[in-house]
């Protein structure tokens, strides 16, 4: 089957995305408070390539130019995140920073004046430092501060923003930012490990889920008149068994529970709880009270997925050391599979995983509307290729949009597809050495000019033909 715009329903959203810390820069401007990433960036040797702390896409200053580039790209929507500490400098409502809010209002107004609708993520990895120092997501009290932050955003921007995403990837935050895992990105400043390290990812994940549900309920009770939708973005890590042996099939189910389902089931299943496999393996997991379950259940107007690639897994050999707690708790191991389309990186080319993930939602979560909130790949890392001629990315994007098309044809309700990322940006621990943009930035260029790669032209042409049909 070929990619064909006529299979996408009218009103289908073709978007692109970024997140605040990855693009904004201007960390001292507007009275912004410190985020954990300011601290991480100051640690020598911590980020690949050791970039100077103030190198960025400068998107805080260049937002008008960016809106023109988005217009050139042809997207109907732009997903970005709000920096919590630009709005509430110490993370709490003690000081509401009007200058920070003004920036996000200006950005939204500029987008709307150019025919592009904002999609706003309220949390995308940059915890205010003061909140982190107070325990971050391990401290349930900080949920109150997050709810306060979201209230401010709804009040101040609710007339302009009609699509809200509470969290970007709770699972990713729980595993990479709460509990340090050897050999994995560590998305928090170096601090002594929490005492309850064994339980930390699960405690943090549970707190974030409850924070999400409170924010959803807050919008329903106090802001529904503004006519927006509130969803959540999950880690779209789909899994396949390495063989048809029962033990591998079981391992694949557990892996999916640990990688993705534990942050989705409490919201989208009738049971309203973590997967049974987790309850069986982790006796310390706190239960949800009936009140919490009721608050969580159906607390999303849509289910967002960041999908990059799936994982093939098998049962863990007895006594084998795993990369992290995640695999040993879940009792599974990875098996190498699929094409390394970007060279020696973690990305694999397997669009069927996106298709199957969307079908999983249709069959298991009552066909709740889904939204692909991130999908994309990096420039090829280890082969001498002209970076603007990113044919591999064109192939990756085409294959994944086709996977969405097939899922729609199979009856899935998909609201939109979002390309990650709009511009090359700060790729967390990989700094600027890994580039996901469809627009290239030369970070040594004082103008930080955004230059279209072939994939940007491909996406624009595809959107053009969709708009015409």
Tell me which residues touch ligand BGC (CB under 6 A): 19, 22, 168-169, 172, 306, 374, 420, 427, 436
Catalytic residue status for 98: no
Residue of 169, 292, 327, 427 marked catalytic: 169
Between 30 and 374, name the residue whose CB sits nearer to ligand BGC.
Answer: 374
Residue 119's DSSP bridge partners are 79, 163
Tell me, rounded to whole angstroms, the distance of Cα 204 from its chain centroid: 17
Structure tokens at 364: 């298991």
Smallest gap from Cβ 374 to ligand BGC, in A, equals 6
Smallest gap from Cβ 292 to ligand BGC, in A, equals 26
Select the residue whose beta carbon is closest to ligand BGC and give its number.
Answer: 306
Between 235 and 252, name the residue whose CB sits nearer to ligand BGC.
Answer: 235
In the block, residue with structure tokens 């396949």: 240
Contacts for 421 with CB less than 8 Å, ≥ 6 apart: 16, 17, 18, 22, 374, 376, 436, 437, 438
Catalytic residue status for 169: yes
Smallest gap from Cβ 115 to ligand BGC, in A, equals 26
Structure tokens at 341: 């389309």
Residue of 24, 292, 327, 374 marked catalytic: 374
Phi, psi of 79 (to 5 degrees): -95, 125
Q: Where are the alpha helices (DSSP H) in 93-137?
A: 98-113, 129-133
Smallest gap from Cβ 131 to ligand BGC, in A, equals 19
Report the relative pairing of strands 239-241 and 332-335 from DSSP bridges.
Answer: unpaired
Smallest gap from Cβ 397 to ligand BGC, in A, equals 15
Between 223 and 439, name the residue whose CB sits nearer to ligand BGC.
Answer: 439
Distances (CA, A) of 264 to 91, 206, 213, 232, 282: 26, 11, 12, 9, 18
**DSSP code of residue 301:** S
Between 171 and 211, name the residue whose CB sits nearer to ligand BGC.
Answer: 171
Q: How far apart are CA 24 and CA 441, in angstroms?
A: 14
Q: How far apart are CA 257 and CA 239, in angstroms?
A: 10
What is the greatest pairwise CA distance in the chain?
A: 60
Smallest gap from Cβ 425 to ligand BGC, in A, equals 7
Between 169 and 248, name the residue whose CB sits nearer to ligand BGC.
Answer: 169
**DSSP code of residue 288:** P
Between 37 and 436, name the residue whose CB sits nearer to ligand BGC.
Answer: 436
Any idea which residues carry the catalytic annotation? 169, 374
């Amino acid at each position: 089957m070929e990619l064909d715009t006529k299979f996408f329903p009218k009103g289908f959203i073709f978007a692109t995305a970024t997140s605040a810390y990855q693009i904004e820069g201007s960390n001292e401007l507007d009275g912004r408070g410190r985020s954990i990433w300011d601290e991480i960036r100051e640690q020598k040797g911590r980020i690949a390539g050791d970039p100077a702390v103030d190198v960025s896409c400068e998107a805080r200053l260049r937002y008008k130019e960016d809106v023109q580039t988005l217009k050139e790209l042809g997207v109907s929507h732009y997903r970005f995140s709000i920096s919590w500490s630009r709005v509430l400098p110490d993370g709490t409502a003690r000081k509401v920073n009007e200058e920070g809010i003004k920036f996000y209002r200006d950005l939204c107004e500029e987008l709307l004046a150019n025919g592009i609708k904002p999609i706003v993520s309220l949390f995308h990895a940059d915890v205010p430092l003061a909140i982190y120092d107070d325990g971050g997501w391990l401290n349930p009290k900080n949920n109150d501060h997050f709810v306060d932050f979201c209230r401010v955003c709804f009040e101040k921007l609710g007339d302009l923003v009609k699509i809200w995403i509470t969290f970007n990837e709770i699972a990713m935050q729980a595993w990479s930012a709460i509990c340090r895992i050897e050999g994995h990105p560590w998305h928090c400043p170096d601090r002594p490990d929490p005492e309850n390290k064994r339980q930390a990812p699960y405690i943090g994940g549970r707190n974030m889920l409850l924070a999400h549900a409170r924010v959803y309920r807050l919008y329903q009770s106090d802001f529904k008149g503004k006519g927006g939708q509130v969803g959540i973005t999950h880690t779209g890590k789909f899994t396949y068994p390495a063989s048809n042996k029962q033990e591998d099939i079981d391992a694949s189910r557990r892996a999916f529970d640990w990688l993705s389902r534990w942050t989705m089931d409490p919201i989208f299943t009738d049971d309203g709880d973590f997967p049974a496999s987790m309850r069986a393996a982790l006796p310390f997991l706190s239960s949800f009270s009936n009140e919490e379950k009721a608050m969580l259940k159906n607390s999303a107007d849509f289910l967002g997925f960041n999908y990059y690639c799936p994982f093939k897994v098998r049962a863990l050999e007895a006594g084998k050391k795993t990369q992290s707690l995640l695999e040993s708790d879940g009792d599974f191991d990875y098996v190498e599979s699929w094409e390394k389309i970007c060279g020696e990186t973690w990305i694999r080319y397997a669009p069927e995983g996106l298709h199957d993930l969307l079908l999983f939602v249709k069959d298991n979560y009552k066909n709740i509307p889904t939204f692909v909130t991130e999908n994309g790949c990096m420039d090829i890392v280890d082969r001498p290729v002209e970076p603007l001629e990113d044919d591999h990315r064109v192939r990756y994007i085409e294959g994944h949009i086709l996977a969405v098309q097939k899922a729609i044809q199979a009856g899935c309700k998909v609201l939109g597809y979002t390309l990650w990322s709009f511009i090359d940006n700060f790729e967390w621990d990989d700094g600027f050495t890994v580039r996901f943009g469809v627009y290239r930035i030369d970070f040594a260029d004082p103008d930080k000019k955004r230059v279209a790669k072939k994939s940007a032209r491909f996406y624009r042409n595809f959107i053009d033909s969709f708009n015409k049909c």
